Structure 1
Amino acid sequence: MKLLFKILLLLAITPIYSQNSIHGVITDSNTKAPIVYANIYIPAVEKGTMSHEKGDFTIDNLPPGKYEVLFSIIGYQTKSITIKIPFEEHLHLSLSPSFIEMKDIIISTPFHKLQRDNVMKVEQENIKNLKAGGAVTLAEGIANIPGVESLTTGLGIGKPVIRGLSSNRVLVYAQGVRLENQQFGAEHGLGINDAGVESIEVIKGPASLLYGSDALGGVLYVNPERFSQSNSTTGDVAANYFSNTEGVTTSAGVKSSTETFKFLFRGSTASHSDYKTDAYRVTNTRFNEQDFKAGIGYQNKGFTTEFRYNVNVSDLGIPITTGIGQGGEQSKNRTPLLPFQNITNHVLSSKSTIFFNKSRLDINLGYIYNDRKEFETPHDHDDHDHDDHHDHEEHEEEHEHEAYGTLDPALHMKLKTANYDIKYNLPKLGKLETIFGVQGMNQINTNYGDEQLIPNARTNDIGILATSHIHFEKADMQLGIRFDNRTIDVNSDFNKSFNSFNAAAGVKTNIAKYITARVNLASGFRAPNLAELKSYGTHEGTNRFEIGNETLKSEQNLQADVALEYTNEHLEVFANVFYNTIKNYIYLSPNGEIIKNVPVYEYFQNNAHLYGGEFGIHVHPHPMDWLHVESNFEMVTGKQNNDDYLPLIPAHTLSNMIRVEFNKKWLEKSYAFVKLKTTFQQNKLGAFETSTKDYSLLSAGFGSTLRLFKKDLLLSISGNNLTNKTYVNHLSRLKSDGIFNIGRNISIGFTYTL
Structure 2
Amino acid sequence: MLHAQHELQGRVLDASDNAPLEQATVYFPQLENGVITDTDGNFHIRQLPEGTYKLVVSMIGYAAFTQSITLGENNPSLTIRLRPSAIEMEEVIVSTPFHKLQRENVMKVEQAPLAEIRKNGSPTLAEGLRQIAGVETVSTGVGIGKPVIRGLSSNRVLVYTQGIRMENQQFGDEHGLGISDAGIESVEVIKGPASLLYGSDALGGVLYLNPQRYAPAGTAQADATALYFGNTSGVAANAGAGVSGEKWKFLARLARASHADYQDGGDTRITNSRFSEWDLKTGVGYASGRFKNDLRYNYNRSEPGIPEEIGVQGTDRTPLLPYQEIESHILSNTTEFFMKNSSLKVILGYVGNSRLEFEDHEEHAGEEDGEEHAEEEHGEEGPSLDMQLNTLNYNLQYQFSPSGDSWQTVVGLQGMWQENSNAGEEILVPDARTVDVGLMATSHVHFEKSDLQLGLRYDRRQIDSDAFGTPGESEYIGPLDRSFNSFNAAAGYRIDIAPRVIGRLNLASGFRAPNLSELGSNGTHSGANRFEIGNPDLENERNVQADLSLEYKGEHFELGINGFHNRIRDFIFIAPTGNTVEGDPEFQYRQQDATLYGGEAVFHLHPHPLDWLHLQSNVAVVIGELDSGTPLPLIPPVNWRNTLRVEWDKISSNLENFYGFLGLETYFRQGRPGDFETETPAYNLVHAGLGTRLPLFGNPLDIRIAANNLLDTKYIAHLSRIKADGINNMGRNISLGLSMTL
TM norm structure 2: 0.96
Gaps of 5+ in 2: 468-478
1:410 is aligned, of 384, 406, 410, to 384
2:523 is aligned, of 524, 527, 537, to 537
User: SS at 1:99's partner residue?
Assistant: coil
| Partner of residue 471, structure 2 | none
What is the CA-CA distance between 1:625 and the residue it aligns to?
0.3
CA distance in 1, matches of 2:305, 2:452: 48
2:440 is aligned, of 438, 444, 465, to 465
Equivalences for 1:479-494 in 2 at 5 Å? 479-491=454-466, 493-494=479-480
User: SS at 1:624's partner residue?
Assistant: coil
Deviation per residue, 1:279-330 (Å, 9 max, x gap): 3111111111111111111111111001100011011111123xx2xxx111
CA contact (8 A) 1:290 1:313 kept: yes
CA distance in 1, matches of 2:129, 2:557: 24
Question: Which range moves more in the overlay, 592-601 or 192-201?
Answer: 592-601
Whichever residue aligns with residue 342 of structure 1, its letter is E
| Partner of residue 636, structure 2 | 650
Matching of residue 31 in structure 1 with residue 17 in structure 2: yes
CA contact (8 A) 2:358 2:378 kept: no
CA distance in 2, matches of 1:278, 1:183: 30
TM norm structure 1: 0.95
Matching of residue 193 in structure 1 with residue 180 in structure 2: yes
Matching of residue 108 in structure 1 with residue 83 in structure 2: no
| Partner of residue 639, structure 1 | 625
1:124 is aligned, of 107, 111, 124, to 111
Whichever residue aligns with residue 731 of structure 1, its letter is L
What is the CA-CA distance between 1:737 and the residue it aligns to?
1.6
CA distance in 1, matches of 2:606, 2:286: 43
1:740 is aligned, of 725, 728, 735, to 728
Equivalences for 1:17-96 in 2 at 5 Å? 17=4, 19-86=5-72, 88-96=75-83
Matching of residue 419 in structure 1 with residue 393 in structure 2: yes
CA distance in 1, matches of 2:134, 2:736: 28
CA distance in 1, matches of 2:368, 2:170: 31
Matching of residue 329 in structure 1 with residue 312 in structure 2: yes
User: SS at 2:401's partner residue?
Assistant: coil
User: SS at 1:511's partner residue?
Assistant: strand
CA distance in 1, matches of 2:721, 2:371: 26
Matching of residue 712 in structure 1 with residue 700 in structure 2: yes
What is the CA-CA distance between 1:278 and the residue it aligns to?
2.6
CA distance in 2, matches of 1:154, 1:596: 29
CA distance in 2, matches of 1:676, 1:21: 50
Matching of residue 152 in structure 1 with residue 139 in structure 2: yes
What is the CA-CA distance between 1:241 and the residue it aligns to?
0.4
| Partner of residue 244, structure 2 | 257
Whichever residue aligns with residue 321 of structure 2, its letter is L
Equivalences for 1:269-418 in 2 at 5 Å? 269-279=256-266, 280-321=268-309, 324=310, 328-379=311-362, 389=365, 391-393=366-368, 396-418=370-392
What is the CA-CA distance between 1:538 and the residue it aligns to?
2.6
User: SS at 1:542's partner residue?
Assistant: coil
CA distance in 2, matches of 1:507, 1:716: 41
| Partner of residue 5, structure 1 | none
Matching of residue 438 in structure 1 with residue 424 in structure 2: no
Whichever residue aligns with residue 674 of structure 1, its letter is L
Deviation per residue, 1:378-432 (Å, 9 max, x gap): 218xxxxxxx75x3226x4443331454431011110000010100001333621
Whichever residue aligns with residue 121 of structure 2, its letter is G
Alpha-carbon distance change, 554 to 197 in structure 1, aligned in 2, over 3 angstroms: same
CA contact (8 A) 1:187 1:542 kept: no
CA distance in 1, matches of 2:294, 2:587: 45
| Partner of residue 481, structure 2 | 495
CA distance in 1, matches of 2:289, 2:160: 28
What is the CA-CA distance between 1:24 and the residue it aligns to?
0.4
What is the CA-CA distance between 1:547 and the residue it aligns to?
1.3
User: SS at 1:61's partner residue?
Assistant: strand
CA distance in 2, matches of 1:718, 1:596: 49
Deviation per residue, 1:604-662 (Å, 9 max, x gap): 11000000000121000000000000111110000111111111100001111000001
Whichever residue aligns with residue 150 of structure 1, its letter is T
How many equivalent pairs are there?
Answer: 726
CA distance in 1, matches of 2:693, 2:322: 43
1:700 is aligned, of 674, 679, 688, to 688
Whichever residue aligns with residue 426 of structure 1, its letter is F
| Partner of residue 384, structure 1 | none
CA distance in 2, matches of 1:392, 1:406: 15
Gaps of 5+ in 1: 1-13, 381-387
CA distance in 1, matches of 2:481, 2:524: 24
| Partner of residue 162, structure 1 | 149
CA distance in 1, matches of 2:277, 2:502: 43
User: SS at 1:104's partner residue?
Assistant: coil
Whichever residue aligns with residue 681 of structure 2, its letter is K
| Partner of residue 3, structure 1 | none
| Partner of residue 659, structure 2 | 671
CA contact (8 A) 1:318 1:541 kept: no
What is the CA-CA distance between 1:497 and the residue it aligns to?
0.5
Whichever residue aligns with residue 598 of structure 2, its letter is G
1:241 is aligned, of 197, 217, 228, to 228
CA contact (8 A) 1:452 1:536 kept: no
CA distance in 1, matches of 2:381, 2:6: 61
Equivalences for 1:621-636 in 2 at 5 Å? 621-636=607-622
2:171 is aligned, of 174, 184, 191, to 184
CA contact (8 A) 1:63 1:355 kept: yes
What is the CA-CA distance between 1:101 and the residue it aligns to?
0.4
CA distance in 1, matches of 2:23, 2:673: 53
CA distance in 2, matches of 1:534, 1:404: 28
CA distance in 1, matches of 2:530, 2:83: 59
CA distance in 1, matches of 2:586, 2:297: 40
| Partner of residue 473, structure 2 | none
User: SS at 1:223's partner residue?
Assistant: strand
CA distance in 2, matches of 1:705, 1:417: 43
What is the CA-CA distance between 1:16 and the residue it aligns to?
2.4
CA contact (8 A) 2:146 2:154 kept: yes
Question: Which range moves more in the overlay, 140-149 or 40-49?
Answer: 40-49
Whichever residue aligns with residue 467 of structure 1, its letter is T
Whichever residue aligns with residue 157 of structure 1, its letter is I
What is the CA-CA distance between 1:707 and the residue it aligns to?
1.1
| Partner of residue 470, structure 2 | none
Matching of residue 722 in structure 1 with residue 710 in structure 2: yes
Whichever residue aligns with residue 408 of structure 1, its letter is G
Equivalences for 1:499-648 in 2 at 5 Å? 499-648=485-634
Deviation per residue, 1:102-128 (Å, 9 max, x gap): 010000001010000000000000001
Whichever residue aligns with residue 126 of structure 2, its letter is A
Matching of residue 138 in structure 1 with residue 125 in structure 2: yes
What is the CA-CA distance between 1:29 and the residue it aligns to?
0.9
Question: Which range moves more in the overlay, 208-217 or 312-321?
Answer: 312-321
Whichever residue aligns with residue 45 of structure 1, its letter is L
User: SS at 1:129's partner residue?
Assistant: helix
CA distance in 2, matches of 1:166, 1:415: 20
CA distance in 2, matches of 1:666, 1:628: 24
Give 4+ residue runs of structure 1 displaced > 6 Å after superposition: none
RMSD: 1.3
| Partner of residue 385, structure 1 | none
